[in-house]
Amino acid sequence: MSVGAVLVAAGSGTRLGAAGPKAFVEVAGVPLLVHAARGLLGAAVDVLVVAVPQGCVEQATTVLVPEVSSTELWVVEGGATRQASVWRALAALDAASNPVDTVVVHDAARAFAPASLVARVVAAVQSGHGAVVPGVPVVDTTKRVGPADATGARLVLDTPDRADLVAVQTPQGFDRALLTRAHTAGADRADDETTAASDDAGLVEALGAPVWVVAGDDDAWKITTGSDLERAERMFAPTPAPPLRLVRADDTVDEAPATGTRHTLPTNRGVDPVGDVPSEPVAHTLPTEPEPPGHKEPQ
């Protein structure tokens, strides 16, 4: 069975506060588009179709080609909504040299979804589940509310049991024929942001077809705002080295090493009597492990 991946990267990045399309905002010097593509390519998809903002096909192709080896790559312009962008990408699959029967649809905003998550979704589809979404448990109490009153307050209607809820992520996986049928049925909604589906599983649900949930992944979180971008940068920040402690030549180390032994540096060697500055270089080494019983130094 051949697997095709649709990577939706046509967002404007307005909420992110970016000067250009979100797909090309960099984290650790790499565009979000490339980060997201790496997760899909790591799962060895056969065809990758990327939907990008209008006028960005060449730019996207330039950054993606070095990432691709055996996977067939297509880059298309997206539409006015996410739903419209996915539809355009699905149409591109018809031109692929590898016939595709399983499709995963992924948002570039979830740039760090790992290849293992992609593989889990694909496996569930290929085991007979026509539509599969990854989900993580809801940890906050959730309220269903009614319309706002004149003051802006909204009446709580009920409190769903959290055990029955999941927060849905991407990539979402589908039997290709089912996904095409769902998009065809919902085509009249596609070009209006107020009516377009927020995810592809919603279109399948509208057909009355079942949608299944598999375990999601904490790394598949969504980058939406500037603070999300800061969080992403921290993921790649180097781990700071532990602080060094300056020890004088006549000091005793206060803390015992993990081995339980205590090391005392030699006193009054190489120390200027006028101050604490060594009069000749002093070499410092890390504490050594205790010698095993019966060990003898070579003569």
Please give the pLDDT value at position 239. Answer: 81
9 is a domain residue = yes
CA-wise closest residue to 121 among 107, 100, 105 = 105
Please give the pLDDT value at position 252. Answer: 57
Strand ranges, E, within 91-220: 102-107, 131-137, 144-148, 154-158, 166-168, 172-175, 212-215
Please give the pLDDT value at position 286. Answer: 38
265 is a domain residue = no
Please give the pLDDT value at position 196. Answer: 96
- CATH number (domain holding residue 69): 3.90.550.10
Residue ranges for the chain with pLDDT beneath 70: 247-299
203 with 182: CB under 8 angstroms?
yes
Please give the pLDDT value at position 261. Answer: 47
222 is a domain residue = yes
Please give the pLDDT value at position 209. Answer: 98
CA-wise closest residue to 53 among 20, 6, 18, 27 = 20
66 is a domain residue = yes
Q: Count how many domains the chain has.
A: 1
70 is a domain residue = yes
49 is a domain residue = yes
Please give the pLDDT value at position 285. Answer: 37
> 209 lies in which domain range?
3-141+156-235
Please give the pLDDT value at position 268. Answer: 46
- Give per-residue burial for 238-276: e unless 16+ CB within 10 Å, then b: eeeeeeeeeeebeeeeeeeeeeeeeeeeeeeeebeeeee
Alpha helices (H) in 186-287, listed in sequence order: 200-207, 226-236
81 is a domain residue = yes
Please give the pLDDT value at position 140. Answer: 95
Q: What's this model's pTM, rounded to 2 decimal places?
A: 0.79
CA distances for 53 relative to 7, 155, 281, angstroms: 12, 39, 62
How far apart are alpha carbons 10 and 53 in whole angstroms? 4
Q: Is 148 helix (H, G, I), strand (E, B) or coil?
A: strand
Return the H-helix or E-strand segment holding 59.
helix 57-64
Q: Which residues contact 294 (CB under 8 A, 6 or more apart)?
A: none
37 is a domain residue = yes
- Give per-residue burial for 66-94: e unless 16+ CB within 10 Å, then b: ebeeebbbbbbbbbebbbbbbbbbbebbe
Burial of 38 (0-12, 13-18, 19+ CB in 10 A): middle
